[in-house]
């Protein structure tokens, strides 16, 4: 499939490639939709096996950001960036070159942290562009967005457990957390532990997992074993496409609710398959919106922590509405979530056309 065909399939507005041999940078920025505002989404560094694989990832991730911001009621569009490199290749030159890449788009895309990109990296990007979010509190930013992403995921797990199991508390509920030692995963494990949940965890970071076990009494399983454990809830906190034909066949979970992006390999088919198997799925771009909510209020210079916490906790009611839509329309939850987000985009688009016309 050609790049233009891939863009048309996902309805992207713009995909831009950047190569800087001196800085050893190869990057792609995908802008999916800017109806509601500039595209905001993090920059992910990953050693993709090919440029095709990187393009596939950035297209999926950027589309998810559109629906995430729309469903959360934010005036933002969806975008994402990927840097094709091993994290060991990080350098000031690389990130400053990426900053020039962002600057060249004139504000259509605002970048932030993502997998293998830290706040220190964001500060290097900021040397070349002001189109960044998720800055340290010391320079007027909101700091690490991970705690807000984890808080939103916790609220999503709560409403999902109530909806599926009829339980108002997470006490003694067993949650399988994949990617437990990551930024978001660690915060989510802490919150779940405080709620009285029992944790089964996996992560390639053995030292990080050991800390989770020590702090929260979690049980560790292998990377491939997490899919078949006995737990009511599966909370993916790592990379996407982990809900697929092979893993679904192993699931004993009643609920899938976690903050990882693009959890379903095929949103339509695997969403329907989960519904057939009577597994309640919390659409990822709804449950993981806490981080982008935090960044949004930084971008619009209205950063009040208490207000942001309240907004993030609203993920509970948003998911409740989506579950109701799924029941009323007799559709899978990803379909209901897409309808929910697209309805807002369509309304604002109609308003703009009326104003311009």
Q: Would you name the residues annotated as active-site residues?
A: 80
Distance CA 325, CA 343 (A): 13
Distance CA 179, CA 299 (A): 29
Measure Cα distances from 179 to 47, 226, 258, 309 in Å. 18, 10, 10, 24
């Amino acid at each position: 499939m050609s790049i233009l065909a891939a863009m048309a399939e996902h309805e992207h507005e713009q995909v831009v490639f950047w190569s800087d041999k001196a800085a050893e940078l190869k990057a792609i920025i995908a802008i999916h939709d800017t109806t509601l505002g500039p595209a905001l989404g993090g920059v992910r560094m990953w050693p993709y096996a090919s440029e095709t694989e990187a393009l596939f990832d950035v297209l999926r991730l950027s589309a998810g950001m559109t629906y995430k911001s729309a469903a959360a009621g934010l005036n933002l569009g969806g975008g994402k960036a990927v840097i094709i490199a091993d994290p060991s290749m990080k350098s000031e030159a690389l990130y400053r070159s990426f900053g020039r890449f962002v600057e060249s788009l004139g504000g259509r895309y605002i970048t932030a942290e993502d997998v293998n990109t830290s706040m220190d990296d964001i500060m290097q990007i900021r040397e070349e562009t002001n189109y960044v979010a998720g800055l340290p509190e010391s320079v007027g930013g909101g700091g690490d967005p991970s705690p807000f992403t984890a808080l939103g995921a916790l609220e999503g797990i709560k409403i999902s457990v109530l909806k599926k199991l009829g339980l108002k508390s997470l006490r003694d509920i067993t949650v399988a957390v994949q990617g437990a030692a990551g930024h978001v995963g660690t915060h989510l494990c802490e919150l779940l532990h405080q709620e009285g949940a029992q944790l089964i965890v996996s992560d390639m970071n053995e030292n990080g997992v050991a800390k989770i076990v020590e702090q929260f009494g979690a049980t560790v399983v292998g990377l491939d074993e997490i899919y078949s454990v006995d737990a009511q809830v599966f909370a993916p906190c790592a990379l996407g496409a982990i809900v697929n034909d092979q893993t679904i066949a192993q699931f004993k979970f009643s609920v899938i609710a976690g903050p990882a992006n693009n959890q379903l390999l095929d949103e339509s088919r695997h969403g329907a398959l989960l519904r057939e198997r009577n597994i309640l799925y919390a659409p990822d771009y709804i449950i993981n919106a806490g981080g982008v909510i935090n960044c949004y209020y930084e971008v619009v210079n209205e950063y009040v922590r208490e207000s942001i916490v309240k907004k993030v906790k609203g993920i509970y009611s948003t998911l409740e509405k989506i579950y109701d839509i799924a029941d009323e329309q007799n559709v899978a939850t990803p379909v209901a979530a897409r309808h929910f987000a697209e309805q807002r985009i369509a309304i604002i688009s109609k308003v703009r056309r009326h104003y311009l016309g």
